[in-house]
């Protein structure tokens, strides 16, 4: 009887570990981070138009999650930086996101007002 209980417990533990590793694999996301440092004379309405475009693109079913905000770091005083974080379930999703009809507008809007643009894509790990 003890062997049956021990084997049952061992089987449960193995299944539990396998299910957790599958769950962790399924929750992995591809993060696409864009940090834009705006020129000092960038018009507020141009910056707002860019924010609005990012929010509009984030409504695509290809996007798993989206957030954005204004940098508050004390290291960059006097500089306006916006951070846009878009998450995708797969490499194919980000590739198809870049094919959306409105995606090229990001460059059209950002290039005239951006002083610097930093982009990072990575698989998030927890």
Domains defined along the chain, listed by start: 28-123 (3.30.70.100)
Looking at the predicted structure, is the pLDDT value of residue 118 above 90?
yes
Q: Determine the Cα–Cα distance for residues 12 and 23; give it in Å rounded to an integer.
A: 16
pTM, to two decimals: 0.77
Strand ranges of the sheet holding 81-88, from the earlier edge strand across to the other edge: 63-70, 81-88, 30-38, 114-123
Q: What percent of the chain has pLDDT over 70?
A: 79
Q: For the residues 52-66, what does the mean pLDDT come to?
A: 98
Give pLDDT, residue 74: 87
Give pLDDT, residue 3: 52
Q: For the residues 7-18, what does the mean pLDDT come to?
A: 46
pLDDT, mean over the chain: 86
């Amino acid at each position: 009887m003890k062997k049956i209980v021990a084997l049952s417990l061992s089987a449960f533990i193995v299944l539990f570990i396998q299910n957790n590793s599958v769950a962790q694999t399924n929750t992995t996301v591809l993060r696409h981070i864009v940090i834009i440092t705006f020129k000092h004379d960038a018009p507020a309405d141009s910056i707002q138009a860019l924010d609005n475009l990012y929010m509009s693109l984030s409504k695509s079913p290809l996007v798993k999650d989206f957030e954005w905000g204004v940098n508050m770091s004390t290291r960059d005083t006097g500089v306006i930086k916006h951070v846009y974080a878009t998450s995708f379930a797969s490499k194919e999703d980000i590739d198809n996101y870049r094919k959306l009809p409105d995606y090229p507008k990001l460059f059209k809007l950002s290039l005239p007002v951006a002083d610097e643009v930093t982009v990072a894509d990575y698989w998030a790990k927890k």
